[in-house]
A and B are shown apart, each in its own frame.
Chain A
Amino acid sequence: MTNSLENNRLTRRFDALKAANRAALVVYVTASDPDAETSAALLAGLPGAGADIIELGMPFTDPMADGPAIQKAALRALASGACMDRTLDLVRDFRKTDAETPIVLMGYYNPIDSYGTARFAADAAQAGVDGVIVVDVPPEEADELQPILLSQGVAFICLATPTSDDARLEKILKYAGGFLYYVSILGITGTATAAADAVDVAVQRLKRHTNLPVAVGFGIKTPENAAAVARVADAAVVGSAVIDRLAAALDAKGRATPDLLPKVLAFVADLAKGVHMARNA
Chain B
Amino acid sequence: MTSILSNSFTLGPDERGHFGPYGGRFVAETLMPLVLSVEKAFDEAQADPVFQAELTRYLTHFVGRPSPLYFAERLTADCGGAKIYFKREDLNHTGAHKVNNCIGQILLAKRMGKTRIIAETGAGQHGVATATVCALFGLPCIVYMGATDIARQQPNVFRMKLLGAEVRPVTSGAATLKDAMNEAMRDWVANVTDTYYLIGTVAGPHPYPKMVRDFQKIIGEEAKVQMQAMEGRLPDSLYAAVGGGSNSIGLFYPFLDEPSVKIVGVEAAGRGIASGEHAAPLSHGRSGVLHGSRTYLMQSDDGQITEAYSISAGLDYPGVGPEHSWLKDAGRIEFVSVTDDEALDAFHRTTRHEGIIPALESSHAIAQALKVAGDLPRDHIMLVSLSGRGDKDVDTVAKAMGAEL
Contact = CB atoms under 8 A, between A and B. Distances in A.
Interface stretch (B300-308, B330-338, B371-379): B300-308
Nearest to B174: A61
B172 to A, nearest CB: 6
B16 interface: yes
Contacts of B182: 62-64
B24 interface: yes
Given A109-B289, A168-B33, A114 B303 contact: yes
A202 interface: no
Contacts of A187: 186, 189-190
A71 interface: yes
Nearest to B185: A64
B385 to A, nearest CB: 29
A59 B173 CA distance: 13
Interface string A253-274: 0000000000000000000000
B32 A64 contact: no
A6 interface: no
A140 B16 contact: yes
Nearest to B294: A113
* Most chain B CB atoms below 10 A, which of A137, A139, A192: A137
Interface string A121-163: 0000000000000011111110000000000000000111111
Interface string B29-40: 111111000000
A218 B33 CA distance: 19
A136 B172 contact: no
Contacts of A75: 173
A110 B295 CA distance: 11
Contacts of A71: 172-173
13 contacts: A62-B182, A65-B28, A113-B294, A114-B301, A136-B289, A141-B24, A160-B29, A161-B29, A163-B30, A163-B33, A186-B191, A187-B189, A188-B186
A164 interface: yes
A48 interface: no
Contact of B190 (A83, A135, A188): A188
A110 B29 contact: no
Nearest to A136: B26
Nearest to B17: A140
Interface string B164-192: 00000000110000110010011001111
Interface of A: 59-65, 67-68, 71, 75, 78, 83-84, 108-115, 135-141, 158-165, 168, 172, 183, 186-188, 191-192
B292 interface: yes
A159 B304 contact: no
Nearest to A158: B29
Given A163-B192, A186-B190, A186-B191, A111 B28 contact: no
A186 B179 CA distance: 20
Contacts of A113: 287-289, 294, 303
Nearest to B24: A141
B299 interface: yes
B190 A138 contact: no
Contacts of B302: 83-84, 111, 114-115
B305 A183 contact: no
Interface residues of B, number: 38
B297 interface: yes
A114 to B, nearest CB: 3
B398 to A, nearest CB: 33
Contacts of B16: 140
A191 B30 CA distance: 15
B20 to A, nearest CB: 14
A65 B186 contact: yes
B397 interface: no
A61 B173 contact: yes
A168 B32 contact: yes
Top 6 A-B residue pairs of the complex, sorted by shortest distance between their CB atoms: A114-B303, A111-B303, A187-B190, A83-B302, A161-B30, A159-B29
Interface in B71-113: none
Given A140-B25, A163-B192, A186 B288 contact: no
Given A138-B28, A164-B32, 11 more contacts: A62-B173, A65-B186, A78-B304, A109-B26, A111-B304, A113-B294, A136-B26, A136-B289, A136-B292, A138-B29, A187-B189
A236 B292 CA distance: 28
Contact of A191 (B173, B190, B297): B190
Interface string B282-319: 00000111111010010101111100000000000000
Interface in B132-166: none
B27 A110 contact: no
Given A84-B303, A111-B303, A164 B288 contact: no
B290 A186 contact: no
A188 B28 CA distance: 10
Interface in B1-59: 16, 24-34
Given A64-B182, A71-B172, A114-B288, A136 B27 contact: yes
Given A113-B289, A114-B303, A159 B25 contact: no
A159 B28 CA distance: 8
A110 B281 CA distance: 15
Contacts of A68: 172
B299 A114 contact: yes
Contact of B304 (A60, A136, A141, A168): A60
A61 B291 CA distance: 12
A110 B33 contact: no
B292 A164 contact: no
A83 to B, nearest CB: 4
A138 B35 CA distance: 12
B290 A62 contact: yes
B288 A110 contact: yes
Contacts of A110: 288-290, 297, 299, 303-305
